[in-house]
Amino acid sequence: MASLAHRPFVKMNGLGNEILILDLRGSPADITPDAARALARPDVLPFDQAMVLYAPRRADTCAFVRILNNDGSESAACGNGTRCIATYEAETSGNSHMLFESPAGLLDCTVQPDGLVSVDMGAPRLEWRDIPLSHPVAETNAVIVPGFEQLGPAAMASMGNPHATFFVPDANAVDVDRLGAALEVHELFPEKANISFASLIAPDHILLHVWERGAGRTRACGTAACAAGVNGVRTGRTGRRVTVTLPGGDLQIHWRESDSHVEMTGATEFEFAGKITSEMLNGAK
């Protein structure tokens, strides 16, 4: 495998969710979990997720995207990262509408005239096998997690990755780091899970704090916001259009009745660009 050294990168964020973009289209280079962990070190290129672009596999898409967390593990979906690569592609190609291929399926993106990016995140998967959970449950919108009964029932959904949303009186008062780290690896979640704590501001407004699987606490998580919007509807708390406020800012979530797809809209921000050096990859295999 060719080295990543000297390959260009772009650093962006989606509401503070730190995203590294590596465009490997036309390059023999690839990224290993060790290389991802090396790049994510605090003194190198710290990121929450790396969005790695490869040559498209279909004629109607612009790239196949692989998503790595900062611990080197892979994720099938990243909403904030998808908005960032849509902004990147719009800047490099001049197109405002594009399709990406991903392990979770096609990602339909539109960069609006005001710079906000809308992404069709597809339909949520709500059956226990599809989330997945380790055993059957009667209703995935009200699951008591053993050992965490004090939190009340969680609503479970997959947005290409597993999510558990706990609706609590005040999400700001929750010890997200302690509870998120413990719940992520709970035996109920055979593939681990993203853990969210949500409180209702209004029937169309949710406050959300997220512990991301493989990344830890982040300032924003697009798929978690989508799951919170879906789970707000499923538990009778919200309508199908909600603003989800995260520490990094707001996302607009619309769970469409017409096709059951979830549409997410929000901002992105360019930080800087550069080239990967051999020193950045020290210790990586």
- Residues with a catalytic annotation lie at 78, 221
CA–CA separation, 123 and 229 (whole Å) = 12
Of 24, 30, 72, nearest in space to 47 by CA = 72
Question: In this structure, how many other beta carbons lie within 10 angstroms of the beta carbon of residue 260?
Answer: 12
CA–CA separation, 220 and 232 (whole Å) = 18
CA–CA separation, 127 and 241 (whole Å) = 23
Question: In this structure, how many other beta carbons lie within 10 angstroms of the beta carbon of residue 62?
Answer: 21
Q: CA-based Rg of the chain, rounded to a whole angstrom? A: 18
Residue 94 CB contacts under 8 Å (≥ 6 apart), including other chains: none
CA–CA separation, 210 and 212 (whole Å) = 6
Of 219, 224, 220, nearest in space to 183 by CA = 224
| Strand spans (E) along 112-178 | 117-120, 154-158, 162-167
